[in-house]
Homo-oligomer: A and B are copies of this chain.
Amino acid sequence: MNAQLKTFSQDGDYKVADITLADWGRKELDIAEHEMPGLMSIRKKHAATKPLKGVRVTGSLHMTIQTAVLIETLKDIGADVRWASCNIFSTQDHAAAAIAATGTPVFAWKGETLEEYWDCTLDALTFTLADGTQTGPELVVDDGGDVTLLIHKGYELEQGDASWVNSASGSHEEQIIKNLLKRVAAERPGFWTRVVKDWKGVSEETTTGVHRLYQIAEQGKLLVPAINVNDSVTKSKFDNLYGCRESLADGLKRALDVMLAGKVAVVCGYGDVGKGSAASLRAYGARVIVTEIDPICALQAAMEGYEVTTIEDTLGRADIYVTTTGNKDIITLQHMQAMKDQAIVCNIGHFDNEIQVDALYASGAVKTNIKPQVDKFTFAGGNSIFLLAEGRLVNLGCATGHPSFVMSNSFSNQTLAQIDLWANKDVYEAKVYILPKQLDEEVARLHLEKIGVKLTKLTQAQADYLGVAVEGPYKPEHYRY
């Protein structure tokens, strides 16, 4: 980032790119509130009772305008909030400024280094009590699980298991985390144990983070109750699908102004994110090819008229590549070297390891920066590719992420999850929970009026015939929507 522009608060309690952007951010926050009826309705409902009153909440989630509305919602219902972004490119600086200007500690700017990123995460989870003690949050809002990871790894170290921290293997980023933990160990003895003592739960936003949670839980290592927000229908079937349908093309356009019609585009993965991505590209007149490992998703793609084949089979004829898998090494260096000249490569999955960016850098390809988050890599043979957002989320790195309305659904689930975790802090075990269907339906309901939907009401006789209550929930748990 442009060093001159970074703004630190006097008391060290925010780090944003430029605090003078706060006014602009506030104007956009006002607009966003209008598009986020779920959050506004939750604010209203809990205005008096303030169910999170005084609860320390750390958020690690893309510091966008929409997230700013989430933050202010959490504050409105009583929480004491600290925030970091969960991606080095995803912060909207005017959003961060607007939040910082209200006195909420926020540590995020667009274009952090990885070291800065993890420092910000640590800042966001460090609360200082009145007596000066440094401790952590009581609740965590996580997206991708970085806060959860940090606490678990820090705690593990303080519990005496230094094997991971001292291991040499792992990515460049892993090494940065290890260094940070060593530094904390030196500077703040007992910190993670204090953190874990007060920690009551985490709600996790995204497929990849949820996947991590289930893995930790299966290993019996999960320290707190967790709510899988991603698998609320009103999250994964909306944010992941309709959000990407809106924001993928936005990222591509702001990055390269490329004509999509007539292009051959490869979407790797046909989960919800892949479905939204493929639908968007096709609607622009691109010819979409899907790659899949799962035969069910592959058959779905075929039923929608997409060619389904391997990535190798597309090299030389495809113009655009988008990874959406949540898996690693989807696009390898060898793939990139064999692509059509000036192919565009990007990722819309949570982590940047879907594309072998490290290998690309190490390959000797010549990098030309076109503009922020848009780089051209030219290989020895003369061919080049464009890599967007250095392989990080293209919609957040090159555009502004998902629009407010769909995020209102996700963040309503987040807020309800936070309330639920706190309310049940003495009941829940250290497992992964999903919000009950009734809340899921409630979140949907809060968004209907804004867009003019009129719902039909069951008669009692119809409800009896179906064996459901008139007011829902309406579907069995296994229903897939």
Q: Specify the chain B residue showing the minimal Cβ separation from A279.
A: B283
When chains A and B are docked, how far (Å) is the Cα of A246 from the Cα of B284?
A: 7
Task: Verify if A447 is at the interface (C-beta below 8 Å from B).
Answer: yes
Contacts of A292 in B (CB 8 A): 455-456
A445 partner residues in chain B, CB cutoff 8 A: 295
A246: chain B residues at CB < 8 Å are 253, 259-261, 284
Q: Given A294-B474, A451-B262, answer yes or no on A27-B370 (Cβ-Cβ < 8 Å).
A: yes
Distance in Å from the Cβ of A436 to the closest Cβ of chain B? 13
Q: Quick check: B444 and A295 within 8 Å, CB to CB?
A: yes
Q: How far is the CA of A141 from the CA of B403 in the complex (A)?
A: 39
Complex contacts, A233 vs chain B, CB 8 Å: 296, 480
Binds B, one of A55-63, A102-110, A356-364, A458-466: A458-466
Q: Is A162 an interface residue (CB 8 A)?
A: no
Partner of A287 from B306, B326, B371 at Cβ < 8 Å: B306
Q: Which residues of B contact A309 (CB under 8 A)?
A: 453-454
Q: Are B456 and A291 in contact (CB under 8 A)?
A: yes
Evaluate contact between A454 and B313: CB separation under 8 angstroms. Answer: yes
Please state if B406 and A24 are interface contacts (CB–CB under 8 Å).
no
Q: Mark A23-63, 1 if CB is under 8 A from B, else 0.
A: 01001100100110000000000000000000000000000
A220 at the interface (CB under 8 A from B): no
The A254-276 residues at the B interface (CB cut-off 8 A) are 254, 256-264, 272
Which of chain B's residues have a CB closer than 8 A to the CB of A399?
Answer: 253
Asked if B311 contacts A456 (CB within 8 A), the reply is yes
CA distance A245 to B280 in the complex (A): 12
> Known: A259-B403, A370-B28, A461-B329. Is A294-B453 also a contact (CB below 8 A)?
no
Contact (Cβ within 8 A) A253 B256: no
Stretch from A148-156, A172-180, A183-191, A234-242 forming part of the interface with B: A234-242
Residue of B with least CB distance to A301:
B453
- B454 near A310 (CB under 8 angstroms)? yes
**A448 located at the interface, meaning its Cβ lies under 8 Å from any Cβ of chain B in the complex:** yes
CA distance A429 to B472 in the complex (A): 30
8 Å CB contact of A285 from B242, B440, B448, B457: B242
- On whether the beta carbons of B234 and A327 are closer than 8 Å, the reply is no
B303 touches A242 (CB 8 A): yes
* CB atoms of A305 and B328 under 8 A apart: no
Question: For residue A260, which residues in chain B have a CB less than 8 angstroms away from its CB?
Answer: 246, 403
Q: Is A419 an interface residue (CB 8 A)?
A: no
Query: Do residues A444 and B298 form an inter-chain contact, with CB atoms below 8 A?
Result: yes
Number of residues in A with C-beta < 8 Å to the partner?
111
CA gap between A253 and B301 in the complex, in Å: 22
With A245-B285, A287-B306: A293-B458 Cβ-Cβ less than 8 Å: yes
Query: Measured between alpha carbons, how far is A474 from B296 in the docked complex, in Å?
Result: 10
Decide if the interface of chain A is mainly helix, strand, loop or mixed: mixed
Contacts A31-B256, A259-B406 given; indicate if A234 touches B370 (C-beta within 8 A).
no
Closest Cβ–Cβ distance, residue A306 to chain B (whole Å): 7
A455→B245 contact, CB < 8 A? no
* Beta-carbon contact of B454 and A299 below 8 Å: no
Q: For A28, A283, A313, A459, which residue has the most chain B Cβ atoms within 10 angstroms?
A: A283
Question: Which residue of A263, A280, A452, A467 has the most chain B CB atoms within 10 A of its CB atom?
Answer: A452
Residues of chain B with a CB closer than 8 A to A34's CB: 341-342
Bound complex: CA of A214 vs CA of B477, how far in Å?
12
Query: With the chains together, A214 CA to B256 CA distance in Å?
Result: 37
Interface contact B257-A404, CB-CB below 8 Å: yes
State the A residues within 8 Å of B (CB).
24, 27-28, 31, 34-35, 65, 211, 214-215, 231, 233-234, 236-238, 242, 245-246, 249-250, 253-254, 256-264, 272, 280, 282-288, 291-311, 313, 317, 326-329, 341-342, 368, 370-371, 376, 399-400, 402-406, 409, 434, 440-442, 444-445, 447-448, 451-459, 461-462, 465-467, 472, 474-476, 478, 480-481
25 A-B residue pairings within 8 Å (CB atoms)? A31-B376, A34-B341, A211-B466, A214-B476, A242-B285, A245-B261, A246-B260, A246-B261, A253-B399, A259-B402, A262-B303, A262-B405, A287-B306, A293-B456, A294-B474, A295-B441, A295-B442, A298-B444, A299-B447, A299-B453, A302-B448, A308-B454, A327-B458, A327-B462, A329-B462
